[in-house]
Structure formats: C-alpha cells, structure tokens
Copies of this chain bind each other. A is one copy, B any other.
Amino acid sequence: MAHKVLVIGGGFAGLSAVQALESSDAEITLLDRRNFHLFQPLLYQVATGSLSPSEISSPLRSIFSKQQHVRVLLGEAEHIDATARVVTLVDGARLQYDTLIIAAGSTTTYFGHDEWRPYAQCLKSLEDATEMRGRIFKAFEHAELEGSQANSPWLTFVIVGGGATGVELAGALSEIAHKTLKEDFRSIRPEMAQLIIVDQAPRLLPAFSEHLAMKAEQALVRLGVQCRYGLRVTCIDADGVKLQRPDGSHLEIPSKTVLWAGGVAVPEIVKELHRATDAPTDNRGRIKVLPDLSVPAHPEIFVVGDIAALDNLPGVAQVAMQQGRYAGKVIARRLRKQDPPAPFHYANRGDMAVIGRASAVANIFGFEVSGFPAWFVWAFIHILNLIEFQNRIIVIVRWAFQYLTFSRGARLITGTEQDKN
C-alpha cells in the first residue's frame, strides 16, 4: 500500500507541498474548494480592472495532469478524526490519510462586525475581486448619472487598512481616477475623486521599515491619496465610515465605496484541527507548529502557510511556498527512511508593495529600493511566478498596453443581479 498524503488547500503552500512530493512514491490527494490555484498577489489588479480572473488562475487539474499519483479533488473538508486519520468532507465523503498537510489559507475578518461586510468589500476570492471591480466602476457611473460634485459620497473611496493590499488598491484607484477614466465622462471629472486610506496604526506598511513606509506615503500623496492614521473604525454602513480618533473624538467620512483591506482570520477547518488535536493556537487562532511545521503530538499532521504560527512570520506567498516545500521534503525524507532535515528556516528574499504606475517600494535581500527599479523587480518576479506560460504572456501584453495607454482592458461591471433576461 502506498503512503497516503492528503493536502488540504491548493494555494501557494499546498501547491509547493505537492510539488516537493512529486518525486516520492506517495499517493497524493490535493483537496480544494475551487478548481483552480489563485495567484493572490495580483488579485488587486483584477479588483481594479487591469487583469481578468483567468489570467491569475490556473486549473489545479492541469497543473498535475501528468502526475498520475496526484489526485485533485473538489470539495470542502469539514471534520478531522486525528485518531482514525480520516477527514470528512461537507458532502459526507471520507478521505483516509497517513499524513495530512493543512494549507487552507486565511479568510477575511471584520473583527466581530460582520454587519460591515455588505458595505466594506473584502478581497480574498476572485468573486470578491470582480465584485469590488464592479463597485468601483459603478460608483463613477452613479456619480455621472447624478452629475456629482467632488465631495459626493459616490466620488469618495475609503480603503480600510494600510498594509500592502491597501497601498496597492489606493495606487490603482488613483490611476483609474486620474488617467483611465480621464476623458470618459461628460458630467463629472473623475480626477476629483477623493481617495482615503485609514488605519489604526501610526503609519503605512507595518511589515516594512519606517523609511520605506515613508517613501510609500510620499508616492501616494503625490498620486492624490490621503493617508489618515490612528483612526479606529466604529461603524461602516450604506452612508460611509465612522471613525474614532485617539483622543476619543469622532469623524465621519460619507462614502458609497468602502474597500476592506483589513484583518485576516483562520478558516473553520483550522478551528476543527484545534478541536481534533488540542493543538495550541496564537491569539489569531493560528496553529502553533513545531520547528518542523508539524502539530505537537501529531508528527503526521503538518500546518503550513498563513494558518501556521511560527517565529511571527507574515502571511505572504513567499512564506507559504517555503513552508509547503519544507513539509513536502520532511515527508519525502521520512518515506525514504532518511534523517529529518534541519528545522524550518525562512529565507526572506524581500518584501514589496506596488504603489502605482511603475512605482513600488521593496526590500530585496536586505536592500531597500523604491520607485521604478522596485517596480521593475516586482513585475519581473510576479510574472515569473505565474504558473502558466500562457498567463505570463497575456499579463505582459495587458501591462504593456496599460503602461502605454492607461487603458484597463478588464473594467467590466458584471454580477448576477443585473442581467436577468
């Protein structure tokens, strides 16, 4: 009987784990709720009409079609029996495993305020991205119909959260308002739109140095983005955002378009793992893994990516890929009866955030870079990391056109409500 490895999640961590196991003779099942791998770092470009959903997605089946010992399964894990080593899916199917890798990724949290969800669009799935795209471009359409003035809530965009996603969304919104839509309207001037980032922290990009965060803020301010710090969100509804200043005073920003680049939380299956194994968790619910990324007292269960708590590592693609690869390697060595590898060590090759047209901030191998060089490295690395060759070509074509013409080829307003006949 071949050793059965079950991988839950086809994101960066899960994909890397399966790839690291490809040369082993384990029988691998990759379980995901979706039929594609999503290149999350470019999701904001779908949300702002630069790229199309399929251009940052690759069908999981076609990635592994040649690997006969890899089986892709579409489904959602619901229950874990860590003693019998069985995972049960929502539809009742039971999957037996010898080794389990949980790479389920993170979900969005509204910090206990789920009532904000309908008014503050998050950005986690492709559906979130196309919904966000529709809301952004529909806001300008509403403004045009009303002949709105600059301070209209339809022309006020609030981004909650000043991390990489918030910064990237703000930069793209600025290009939309100042360039893409410049000549498209007759009653409004899109460049009058107000773009506001709010955050409770005292600065942007907490994962970056203060120097780079300042560079990013300067670049955003040049693009017409207001950055407002130390503000706690107290309410988000159809009228806009209510905030509280550190001195306790209140502030209201009337806005019809609030974008949530806020907190992340762990999905249900991680809570289920905690129940099933009594594994310790940190304050965000992430599993505190051992140095080899396994769960305490369960050497046959690995937790990798955003949901693993280890050395305070950030929830980014690079960490997920390295952890997935590491877990795969541990299992492959075990199966070959080799000694375990050295404990997991994160090799940080750098962090980057794009601010706008040919502008970014980056920390690459310890060097701080900003402006065009940072953007160039960013573009190069992201294209290289896209799974399919076809998508690399198409993304290059789209970026080239956008660079030359400011056009955004994918600025569709789509949905399920609008076109019913």
* Chain A contact residues, CB within 8 Å of chain B: 33-36, 52-55, 57, 59, 61-62, 65-66, 68, 71-75, 91, 93, 107-108, 124-128, 137-138, 141, 144-145, 181-186, 267-268, 388-391, 393-394, 397-398, 401, 407, 409-416, 418-419, 421
Contact = CB atoms under 8 A, between A and B. Distances in A.
Nearest to A265: B421
Contact of A421 (B72, B108, B398): B108
Contacts of A74: 138, 141, 144-145, 413
B397 A390 contact: yes
A358 B395 CA distance: 26
A324 B34 CA distance: 43
A157 to B, nearest CB: 18
B145 A35 contact: no
Contacts of A391: 409
Contact of A33 (B59, B125, B409, B418): B418
Closest 8 CB pairs of A and B: A54-B410, A61-B184, A52-B52, A125-B419, A52-B54, A65-B183, A74-B141, A107-B421
Contact of A52 (B53, B401, B413): B53
A271 to B, nearest CB: 12
Given A54-B412, A74-B138, 10 more contacts: A35-B411, A35-B412, A53-B412, A59-B411, A65-B183, A71-B186, A108-B421, A388-B409, A390-B401, A397-B397
Nearest to A405: B390
Contact of A75 (B55, B145, B389): B145
A407 B54 CA distance: 13
Given A61-B181, A185-B61, A53 B414 contact: yes
A418 B34 contact: yes
Contacts of A55: 52, 409
A347 B59 CA distance: 44
Contacts of A73: 144-145
A16 to B, nearest CB: 20
Contacts of A61: 181, 184-185
Nearest to A54: B410
16 contacts: A35-B137, A36-B413, A53-B53, A53-B414, A55-B409, A57-B412, A59-B412, A74-B413, A108-B421, A127-B415, A127-B418, A128-B419, A267-B421, A390-B398, A390-B409, A416-B416
A238 B36 CA distance: 27
Given A71-B186, A74-B145, A414-B127, A407 B419 contact: no
Given A59-B411, A127-B414, A127-B415, A183 B66 contact: yes
B413 A35 contact: yes
B416 A36 contact: no
A415 B388 CA distance: 23
Nearest to A51: B54
Contact of A126 (B126, B137, B390, B412): B412
Contacts of A393: 397
Contacts of A68: 186
Contacts of A410: 54
A227 to B, nearest CB: 29
B186 A407 contact: no
Nearest to A76: B418
B419 A127 contact: yes
Nearest to A389: B401
Contacts of A93: 145
Contacts of A415: 127
A86 to B, nearest CB: 17
